[in-house]
Structure 1
Amino acid sequence: MKKNNPRRSFLKKATLSTAALSAGPYVFASSYDQKLRLSRTYRNESFTANDQINLGLIGSGIQGIYDTTAALKVPGVKMVAACDLYAGRLDRAKELWGADIFVTRDYRKLLERKNVDAVIVATPDHWHKKIAVDALKAGKAVYCEKPMVQKFAEGQEIIKAQKDSGSICQIGSQGMSSLGNEKAKQLYEDGAIGEIVMLDMYNDRYSAEGAWQYPIPPDANPDTVDFDTFLGNAPKIPFEPKRFFRWRNYQDYGTGVAGDLFVHAFSTLNFILSSNGPNRAQATGGLRYWNDGRDVPDVTITLYDYPKTDTHAAFNAAFRINFIAGSGGGGGFRLIGTEGEMEVGQNSVRLRRSKLGMVPGGYSMIAYTEETQQKIKDGYAAQNLESRASSLNIGETTWEAPRGYKGGHYDHFYNFFQAIRGKGKIIQDPTFGLRAAGAALLANESYFKGHAVNWDPKAMKLV
């Protein structure tokens, strides 16, 4: 990692290496505002029917459909099988991908099929480990949705199964392979924000759907839904459609806002910084509005400590989720450093660099006589704390994806399928996935225990 790069050197490098989108002030002006273009190139390949990667989907719900839609945009991929525990989703799979695809309620039957090369595991969280391990043992390449695990101890089983099988396993935090992440990592390593001090992440929502009150189909009943299989290793209870279709709301099957949303941020943060993750978490919050039977909070704030490493300074991270945000909603992800800040999205990165004020102004000088004020000014001037160079190169640069960019979701699957073909390496393996999931699960551990918790990010275990 390159540290302490001069502002002028960094900005000159950034400008000369990226094509400008719009004309604006030169980068060497005292204040600038510019837009620059990101770019992505893909292999120009064509595939015959025999070269196709045959894909199976396990969990044909909301995320499973979005995942499969993104995956099938990658050349050389064919959908051949789908599994779900609700009959209506199997009907929907045939509507989307053809009446000839194989459908089943039993994922094991899908894994037995020799024409399935790779699977997407997009089930409720409490099934991730079991199905991912079984798929790897069956010799399938696995794309497992985040969070990789529901419980800390499950991660090592997936890591071992991947190593033993030698199969490809990509964890599905879909923004990981995006242009935004790629550029932010480069900027950070070039010293764009100096030493990191804080990460500020928030996600505000203001809708029932955003708070996971998903629609329940009118034909949901014990005949159309295999509820007993859905429960898996969770406590046995009578058929309850809300728990099946709104599983994110319950600790028995999901991981709350931390597993759904924090894990994306940790994937991006750890990737940009080349970090193993935090070593301490303190969470608070509560169930403030959506009193629909759920047993996870809808408002939460978690503070994390990151220790100093070879790739980053010690810093703090604040994660905030509000599912009843009267402001209307929105989100953000900001890396704040000693020399600037970056707002990172899948399609863009905004870098702001400001002047650090080192000389006292009128606020504190008012307490002294005019004669003393002048002596203080002369003393600071002699130290040259605010040189002319420190006033240059202050402003904002935004790197944006071009029109027609296929998006981070596409890129993550492109990365996955290229790895299957032996033409690249995945960007989010099970070890990376456990570090991201483990950091997120710390929030739940702290919230439900009511105190701070410690984590060993290298060994990936609670302390």
Structure 2
Amino acid sequence: MSKKNSRRSFLKKATLTSAAVTSSPFLLAASFEEKLILSRHYTAHSFSANDQINLALIGTGIQGIYDTQTALKVDGVQLVAACDLYAGRLERAKELWGASIYTTRDYRDILNRKDIDAVIIATPDHWHQKITIDALKAGKHVYCEKPMVQKPEEGQAIINAQKESGKICQIGSQGMSSLGNEKAKKLYEEGAIGDLVMLDMYNDRYSAEGAWQYPIPPDADTKTVDFDTFLGKAPKVPFEPKRFFRWRNYRDYGTGVAGDLFVHAFSTLNHVISSMGPNRALATGGLRYWKDGRDVPDVSITLYDYPQTDTHAAFNAAFRINFIAGSGGGGGFKLIGTEGEMEVGQNSVTVRRSKLSMIPHGYSMVSFTEEMQEKIRAGYDLETLEPRSSSLSTGTTTWEAERDYKGGHYDHFNNFFTAIRNKGSVIQDPTFGLRAAGAALLANDSYYKQQPVNWDPVKMKLI
């Protein structure tokens, strides 16, 4: 269905809905408000001991643990090994998943095992490319945490390695497969908000933990932490626990708020509107409060330009992160179009449609005589710029997931393991992952260069 016809279909449904929920001639002219249910049916499977997908975790830190806990909720998956460079995390892995799992500090030991089918890579960002490529070459299916790469130019090598290996590679932006994203994509394609004009995304935090000041265990030293291996391709520096346990705060190992938070929004945005991404970015910000040795900003504002394509009009996107938000914190992701706005979350979607005022009122009429004002009003009345149907299609509809919904994180892993079993496709392959990461990382390039940067979203290269 063409976008024009889709929008006509949506408007018709919206008008009928508003008429149905109102009950009097007076109310027919008012906007409506309704709530609907989002649901997903999961088919239960029973797998024998010989039909389990054997999973290993590489990087047993915060996200690695959350990823694995979610992955193991999917039928037919078992954890057999874990890898980390801090001894205490290997002990934690055995606490969580049993003393029988194999643990090691060397990820290559994991890749050399013939009984491992798939790996979760949840290491610091600067290790993503190498371990992902090594895992694919070793014949393992890969779930790699976002951002897929630390630098955009690293992405093509992963794309090529995945194609050559024939293995599944899912990039881990955990909300991608959610009911919210799924519904938002359908609504957008139906024309629920008209032509996209702007994306507004923000994430406010007000805690040390939210600003990546993670706890450092008192036993951290050169015996319990393999710091030299952690450094990898990064510059060699003396042992410093903060760099290991709070690596997100350093450009040498992480990607700042852009790679950690922007990339989620780009994954959702590009998926919902079927886009390849922006072509220009302009960033500003600074280190305003968390002056703890980090060299990445704690306040970041980036503006992106999206060019017109077959799936969307040209529009702008505003991304804002504040790690010292005295308001207490919060977040939002809102698509704003010519005919409404759509707020998207993993578990819900809200569409608000308003009536576009086309007829002038008192403010702009004040400079004309009373006689002229009457003539102007009469002229507008003849043009019928605000038909009654435009009022009937206004209002707010919220779709919410059922309480027993397993969540977007579960759905993303379910998509991954289903693709492995059925030799199918994943929702966020390396090409998609590079487009999301590349767009996000433009913010860093612009911020440190102190100038706009240009990006080719088709070739996925800086210009």
Assess if the C-alpha contact under 8 Å between 1:250 and 1:256 holds in 2.
Answer: yes
In the TM superposition, what is the alpha-carbon distance from 1:423 to its structure 2 partner? 6.2
Q: 1:7 to 1:283 in 2, by over 3 A?
A: same
AA aligned opposite 1:346: Q
Distance 1:170 1:16 in 2: 41
In the TM superposition, what is the alpha-carbon distance from 1:13 to its structure 2 partner? 4.2
Aligned position for 1:137:
137
AA aligned opposite 2:383: Q
Distance 2:250 2:204 in 1: 20
What runs of 5+ residues in structure 1 fail to find an aligned partner? Answer: 18-22
Distance 2:3 2:379 in 1: 30
The secondary structure found in structure 1 opposite 2:70 is helix
Distance 1:337 1:79 in 2: 45
Aligned position for 1:383:
383
Distance 2:304 2:93 in 1: 41
Aligned position for 2:438:
438
TM-score, length-scaled by structure 2: 0.96
Aligned position for 2:349:
349
Assess if the C-alpha contact under 8 Å between 2:32 and 2:396 holds in 1.
Answer: yes
Matched, 1:365 2:365: yes
Aligned position for 2:316:
316
- Deviation string, structure 1 residues 269-289 (Cα, Å, up to 9, x no partner): 000010000000000000000
Assess if the C-alpha contact under 8 Å between 2:44 and 2:75 holds in 1.
Answer: no
Assess if the C-alpha contact under 8 Å between 2:15 and 2:393 holds in 1.
Answer: no
Aligned position for 1:169:
169
Q: What is the CA RMSD across the aligned residues, in angstroms?
A: 1.7
Distance 1:2 1:288 in 2: 48
Assess if the C-alpha contact under 8 Å between 1:2 and 1:190 holds in 2.
Answer: no
Aligned pairs for 1:83-102 (under 5 A) are 83-102=83-102
- Deviation string, structure 1 residues 162-218 (Cα, Å, up to 9, x no partner): 000000000000000000000000000000000000000000000000000000001
What runs of 5+ residues in structure 2 fail to find an aligned partner? Answer: none
The secondary structure found in structure 2 opposite 1:444 is helix
Assess if the C-alpha contact under 8 Å between 1:25 and 1:34 holds in 2.
Answer: no
In the TM superposition, what is the alpha-carbon distance from 1:6 to its structure 2 partner? 8.1
Aligned position for 2:339:
339
Assess if the C-alpha contact under 8 Å between 1:25 and 1:33 holds in 2.
Answer: no
Aligned position for 2:268:
268
Aligned position for 1:428:
428
In the TM superposition, what is the alpha-carbon distance from 1:388 to its structure 2 partner? 1.0
Q: 1:263 to 1:253 in 2, by over 3 A?
A: same
In the TM superposition, what is the alpha-carbon distance from 1:41 to its structure 2 partner? 1.6
In the TM superposition, what is the alpha-carbon distance from 1:12 to its structure 2 partner? 5.4
TM-score, length-scaled by structure 1: 0.96
The secondary structure found in structure 2 opposite 1:421 is helix
Aligned position for 1:255:
255
Aligned pairs for 1:151-230 (under 5 A) are 151-230=151-230
Moved more, 402-411 or 27-36: 27-36
Aligned position for 2:392:
392
Distance 1:404 1:357 in 2: 42
Assess if the C-alpha contact under 8 Å between 1:256 and 1:296 holds in 2.
Answer: yes
AA aligned opposite 1:33: E
Distance 2:8 2:280 in 1: 36
The secondary structure found in structure 2 opposite 1:93 is helix
Assess if the C-alpha contact under 8 Å between 1:179 and 1:408 holds in 2.
Answer: yes
| Count of aligned pairs between the two proteins | 458
Q: 1:453 to 1:321 in 2, by over 3 A?
A: same
Assess if the C-alpha contact under 8 Å between 1:129 and 1:149 holds in 2.
Answer: yes
Instruction: State the identity %.
Output: 78
Distance 2:61 2:136 in 1: 22
In the TM superposition, what is the alpha-carbon distance from 1:42 to its structure 2 partner? 2.1
Runs of 4+ in structure 1 deviating by more than 2 angstroms, as ranges, are 1-9, 11-17, 23-30
Q: 1:131 to 1:33 in 2, by over 3 A?
A: same
Assess if the C-alpha contact under 8 Å between 1:33 and 1:396 holds in 2.
Answer: yes
AA aligned opposite 1:286: G
The secondary structure found in structure 1 opposite 2:144 is strand
Aligned pairs for 1:227-238 (under 5 A) are 227-238=227-238
Q: 1:7 to 1:277 in 2, by over 3 A?
A: closer
Aligned position for 1:242:
242
In the TM superposition, what is the alpha-carbon distance from 1:7 to its structure 2 partner? 7.0
Distance 2:52 2:127 in 1: 28
In the TM superposition, what is the alpha-carbon distance from 1:393 to its structure 2 partner? 2.0
Distance 2:30 2:8 in 1: 11
The secondary structure found in structure 1 opposite 2:162 is helix
Distance 1:409 1:118 in 2: 17
